[in-house]
Structure 1
Amino acid sequence: MNHLGDAHLRTWALRLMALLAADTRDQLAWLGERELETADVVEEAELLCRVSEGLVERGVIEPGDLRQLRLIGRRFGEIDAACRVGLWADALTSDPAWDDIRPLAREFLARTLGDWRQPLPRPVRRYTDDR
């Protein structure tokens, strides 16, 4: 890892994994009143998994972490298109895929950082035209 872009990618990957690894109640609390679409979460995670080989090549993540990201990517790929529709808060409580993804993300974080329990990322504020 040798430039700011790589540091940003590592931070992005770790924050996303922290969110995916969190207990359901913590994920729901993080969401609060936000209406985050399930498809957006899935697409973000799939993107990370797709670029993971390049991240390993550049030293952003360790080669041993690639296997775990491939497992996570495979599980996301199995999520039915119908289950990608709607709010993530609803999917977290109704789709068992999230219960399968959680331990995979935890293993990734435990391997990478020594403990899967990480602070959740600060939620991004919704853009409004109000000034």
Structure 2
Amino acid sequence: MNHLGDAHLRAWTLRWTTLLADGPRDQLAWLGERELDTESVVEELELLCRVAEGLAERGAFEPENLHGLRAIGRRLGEIDAACRVGLWANALATDPTWDEIRPLARQFLRTTLGDWRQPLPRPVRPHTGDH
């Protein structure tokens, strides 16, 4: 890794992948009262999957680590527009796509970190507009 930004993007990718790898009950508990739009989550994850290619070129990920992220990116790209509407909490509970992504995320973490069981990222506080 030769850029401070690369370390941040690597950590962000690992945090999101850890969340994807965990079970639905833990994912919903992590979400709590947060209202994340499925479309926003999918776009963020697709971006991280694409950015990881450049990170691997700069040594932040090993090239063999990318197989899992590429598979996640492909699966995310197959989610149609109708399934991207609404809250992610609802999609986690009703859309089997997230059950298909979970083992891909677990494999990526096993390949990258040796185990898929990682601490969940600290939830980000919802933006209230207050300063």
TM norm structure 2: 0.96
* Structure 1 residue runs of 4 or more that deviate by more than 6 Å after TM superposition: none
Q: Deviations over 1:38-79 (max 9, x none)?
A: 111101110011222211101111100122111111100111
Deviation at 1:2, TM superposition (A): 2.1
SS in 2 for 1:26: helix
Residue 67 of structure 1: aligned partner: 67
Q: In 2, Cα distance between the equivalents of 1:72 and 1:102?
A: 9
Q: In 1, Cα distance between the equivalents of 2:41 and 2:17?
A: 11
Gaps of 5+ in 2: none
Residue 107 of structure 2: aligned partner: 107
Gaps of 5+ in 1: none
Residue 55 of structure 1: aligned partner: 55
Residue 9 of structure 1: aligned partner: 9
* Percent identity for Structure 1 against Structure 2: 74
Amino acid at match of 2:84: R
Q: In 1, Cα distance between the equivalents of 2:111 and 2:29?
A: 26
Residue 46 of structure 2: aligned partner: 46
RMSD: 1.0
Q: In 2, Cα distance between the equivalents of 1:20 and 1:11?
A: 14
* Contact persistence 2:16–2:45 (CA under 8 A): yes
SS in 1 for 2:129: coil
Amino acid at match of 1:18: T
Amino acid at match of 1:51: V
Residue 36 of structure 1: aligned partner: 36
Deviation at 1:124, TM superposition (A): 0.9
SS in 2 for 1:120: coil
SS in 2 for 1:124: coil
Count matched residues: 131
Deviation at 1:94, TM superposition (A): 0.4
